[in-house]
Structure 1
Amino acid sequence: MKMANEKIEGLMQKARAAQAQVADYTQEQADDMVRVVAKRCWAERERIAQLCVDDTGKGTYEFKLGKMENTTASVYMYLKGRKSVGLVEHDEKKKLWKYAKPVGVLACITPVTNPAATPIGNGLNVLKTRNAMIVCPHPGARKATGDTVELMRTALRENGHPEDLVQVVPESTVQDAADLMAAVDLILATGGPGMVKAAYSSGKPALGVGQGNVQCILDEDYDDLEKLVSAIVPSRMVDYGMPCTGEQTVHCPASKLDALIKTYASMKCHYIDDEAQIQKLRETLFVDGAINREIVGQPSYKIAKMAGIDIPEDTTLLLLKVGKCGKEEVLAKEILAPITRIFPYDSFEEAVERARTNMLMEGAGHSSCIWSNNPEHVAFAASRIPAGRVMVNQPATNGSGRQNNGLGQTVSLGCGYWGGNSVYHNVNYKDMLNYTIVSEILEDRKVLTPKEIMAD
């Protein structure tokens, strides 16, 4: 049946034809596609990073470049040597063999906050699995995303692979995104909660990510404040606070508050505890309870100026002291800017419950971090906080995977059923495959009767 959207239909026809050409690729051929695309994106990382800033007007070149470098290199490293073709697992004891097969054509819906790294990170996984991908860019980042996709297409074409394995929707609209999601075999949805909900409502399988609202807990026994602050300031400052993995709130023992603020000040953070100024910032950051798009990805001094507050132009983070949590405090929501709330507490249990309340209000299923030397406190926080990842003594940005932790490198962090997602883990190539399980009889296994099973 012919689609009403001829633009999407044309892209789908090309994607189907290209994917059919690689459906029987060997592991070596699939790995070659990943390699040549990763190398080309790496070579052009500086130009694309600048284009991301110029096209969107958000973030900074330095942060965009770092994101490009980290995404390209870390995902490439993660995919090296991993099986995605044919027999990928064998359990001799259970007599099970697992074979991997492509899904077909995937839609990659990309946000304005990550117009290049998201298609690159997703694209390397898609090529690893012998699938095709059609990218639907955010209207505010069409040039940056389009040029990134063209880089990938050029790398494929020049190395003898079908370039139509990776395409972009030109002059994309909301209707284009909806029609694309309805046409493909699987959706990779990265963006706001409305877009992710639309992906799950499309009638097609979707790998969506939920909203972030990272809660950071400083335990009473953790005294190396310089180590903590030197780790989480850069984490929150990445791309002027746009990544969903940045620490939104730091729950601090009241007894350590002065020392913590002093340590923050050494890294040019500006602390505000005046309620009148905080109210001005509430009104600036949020409009009718929704984030003010004008502050997204902007430097802290500029945001403060919008609120009528003068702070030094070289300020890194803006720190706001808050006393309420959850629905009682609009500032407890995710803020896509270099702002961190400081929440003093009297007991560790109180801090955990406040962090839990904030995340259940917004950001459930995403990530949290705790700085502690107390294993019992770590276990308690992990058991209570509704997060897919709890990062211990490391910045929350490490939740997307680093070489010094065991999480898989990704650009999409699943938020489980809390966040309305189908996965809770770091989305990776394994989620983009169909599997066939071959099973043989276990000759030495005694088969019990129902009465024998129920006897004990």
Structure 2
Amino acid sequence: MGSSHFNSTNPANREDILGTFANATLDECREACLAARKGFEQWKKTPAPIRAGIIANFGKLIEKNKEAISQVLTREMGKPIKEARGDVQEAIDTCYFFISEGRRLYGQTVPSEMENKELYTYRRPIGVFACITAGNFPFAVPSWYFIPALVCGNTCVWKPSEDTPRLSLIFAELLYAAGVPKDVFHVVFGSGSETGANLVSLVNEGLIDKVGFTGSTEVGRKIGEICGRNLQTPCLELGGKNPLVVMPDANLDLAVNGIIWSGFGTAGQRCTSLGNLIVHKSIKEPLIKKIMDKVASIHIGNPSEENIFCGPMMSERFLKKHLENLDSLIKPHHRLITSKNGQITDQNKPERFSGNAQLGFYAHPSIVDNVNENDAIYSTETFGPLFNILSFSDLDEAIYLSNKTGYGLSSAIYTENIESSYKFRSEISAGMTSINNSTTGAEAHLPFGGNGKSGNGSRQSGIWVVDQFTKWQAVNWDVSGKLQLAQMDTSYINPSDYVVKI
């Protein structure tokens, strides 16, 4: 398949090639959608508990192969092995959560205003679901989409990230082994700009009924425009410039741990990574000192080693974009408080480094101080090991700085004050908020998603995602043997003329 090919390489060692994959053409994307539409006719008739039973098999297969999958994940996208195991475990958790949802796709029996008339509601599958995912969570995020989509009776066409095609193939093979028919789930490989664009264009041909996308706000807008013209609502999980507020009463040691994990976990390549650290003026310098001590202890290197905190960036293009951000977004009035920045090389390595600087795409953690709301770096998602520091005088200012970027994905506050916690969680615009915890982290039964530039209000995970993959049908069943017209033939009871006398 495909008119051209691309390699999947290990970002910790560019000479290590995991496989060669074909770029799917427009015709091949169309073929996959047509096959999925044909498969939908039988899959939607498969009882939901049976569909969920197949997902139970999928979860068991992932669990059985968890370590092998985690090793491939680390090798293909560079996430430290501990994080990789968590990525895979999230897919397992999602499977086991949605097993029971196959028996809970409830409708309702609704009382009618007419005699001998029954009203019902049913959840029905939407149809062909096309999805484009990113490479930073190559096993967890696809499970958020496809497990509920399949349980609800939809068929799927997936364009995974070109950074993790080997792992995507494993995902699909395990689904087939679990019992998902091959005409129900299809994978097309290639870049987002070509194969991804080809796939989404098929919305215009009526071959796709729902689109899911995890990626940049810029691309999300384009997908939203195509879907909107076709009266469809996509499921968009987009970028973030996630704020973390530290109040003067915060436990600073706890806050530092959350800051470092939020900023540099997965080399800062999470949509929920820390973007703006917003610190009260009274504690700014003591907090910075603690942060810098912690940064000095970070172990960067080969992600397959157990003690690594930060591995390489996912690919060379992500490293180049990070370097461009350092060049273009940092201005003279800023203070770059990290002493080593940019690409890690043999001549510019941190002390605790164990990777191959020549063959890997490694970057130093970077922190920019003296940022204000008028700076481009304040409102630009940088998607790398880089975050900003801003200061504030009171909580109202901190909330203002947290919301003004226009993003609304994740957020966090560190405080020991209940009133501050309550005010922050009530006034923050983000779809997700943590109190005394980091900006990152998701659980299979909690809704995940953002507002504003971070998404269109759709949510993954938990029972809420069922609304993304079903449509409501209302059934009006009249057994009276005659035409009954609601509102017109209804026998309403008129009130009497009784007047209370005092």
Same fold per TM (> 0.5)?
Answer: yes
The aligned counterpart of 2:403 is 356
* Separation of aligned partners in 1, 2:198 and 2:152: 24
How far is 1:144 from its partner?
2.7
1:436 aligns with 2:456: no
Pair 1:125–1:136, CA change in 2 (3 A) = same
* Separation of aligned partners in 1, 2:295 and 2:449: 33
Residue by residue over 1:301-333, the C-alpha shift from the partner in whole angstroms, topping out at 9 and shown as x without a partner, is 773647986643359984624222334142653
* Separation of aligned partners in 2, 1:96 and 1:326: 54
Pair 1:178–1:317, CA change in 2 (3 A) = closer
1:213 aligns with 2:209: no
The aligned counterpart of 1:107 is 130
1:401 aligns with 2:428: no
1:247 aligns with 2:267: no
* Separation of aligned partners in 1, 2:164 and 2:57: 25
Contact 1:107 1:187 in 2 (8 A): yes
Contact 1:103 1:433 in 2 (8 A): yes
1:303 aligns with 2:342: yes
Contact 1:153 1:164 in 2 (8 A): no
TM-score after normalising by structure 1 = 0.76
The aligned counterpart of 1:335 is 382
* SS at structure 2 position matched to 1:352: helix
Pair 1:345–1:396, CA change in 2 (3 A) = same
Contact 1:111 1:191 in 2 (8 A): yes
How far is 1:369 from its partner?
1.2
The aligned counterpart of 2:174 is 151
What amino acid is aligned across from residue 177 of structure 2 in structure 1?
A: T
Pair 1:254–1:154, CA change in 2 (3 A) = same
1:423 aligns with 2:447: no
Q: Which of these two proteins has the greater Rg computed from alpha carbons?
A: 2
Greater shift, 132-141 or 183-192, is seen at: 132-141
Residue by residue over 1:172-216, the C-alpha shift from the partner in whole angstroms, topping out at 9 and shown as x without a partner, is 563432332223110011112233223212235311112111101
Q: How does 1:33-432 map to 2 (within 5 A)?
A: 33-56=54-77, 58-69=78-89, 71-82=90-101, 87-89=106-108, 97-156=120-179, 161-171=180-190, 174-181=193-200, 182=203, 183-203=207-227, 204=230, 205=232, 206-222=234-250, 224-265=251-292, 267-269=294-296, 284-286=323-325, 303=342, 305=344, 311-313=350-352, 318=365, 320-330=367-377, 333-357=380-404, 359-360=405-406, 364-382=407-425, 384-398=427-441, 400-401=442-443, 407-408=446-447, 413-416=448-451, 418-419=452-453, 421-426=455-460, 428-432=465-469
Contact 1:371 1:394 in 2 (8 A): yes
* SS at structure 1 position matched to 2:449: coil
What amino acid is aligned across from residue 125 of structure 1 in structure 2?
A: P
Aligned residues: 408
How far is 1:444 from its partner?
9.7
Residue by residue over 1:146-190, the C-alpha shift from the partner in whole angstroms, topping out at 9 and shown as x without a partner, is 23222222222xxxx413322101445634323322231100111
Contact 2:161 2:190 in 1 (8 A): no
What amino acid is aligned across from residue 33 of structure 1 in structure 2?
A: I
Pair 1:199–1:43, CA change in 2 (3 A) = farther
* SS at structure 2 position matched to 1:81: helix
Contact 2:235 2:459 in 1 (8 A): no
Greater shift, 229-238 or 31-40, is seen at: 229-238
* Separation of aligned partners in 2, 1:305 and 1:221: 37
The aligned counterpart of 2:483 is none
How far is 1:247 from its partner?
2.2
The aligned counterpart of 1:21 is 42
Greater shift, 348-357 or 28-37, is seen at: 348-357
How far is 1:231 from its partner?
3.8
How far is 1:136 from its partner?
0.6
* SS at structure 1 position matched to 2:170: helix
Stretches of structure 2 lacking an aligned partner (at least 5 in a row):
1-24, 299-319, 331-338, 355-362, 478-485, 496-502
Contact 1:231 1:394 in 2 (8 A): yes
* Separation of aligned partners in 2, 1:312 and 1:60: 19
Pair 1:334–1:420, CA change in 2 (3 A) = closer
* Separation of aligned partners in 2, 1:31 and 1:119: 17
Q: CA RMSD in A?
A: 3.8
How far is 1:282 from its partner?
11
* Separation of aligned partners in 1, 2:286 and 2:192: 50
Q: Percent identity?
A: 18
* Separation of aligned partners in 2, 1:340 and 1:269: 16
Stretches of structure 1 lacking an aligned partner (at least 5 in a row):
272-280, 292-299, 449-456
What amino acid is aligned across from residue 397 of structure 1 in structure 2?
A: T
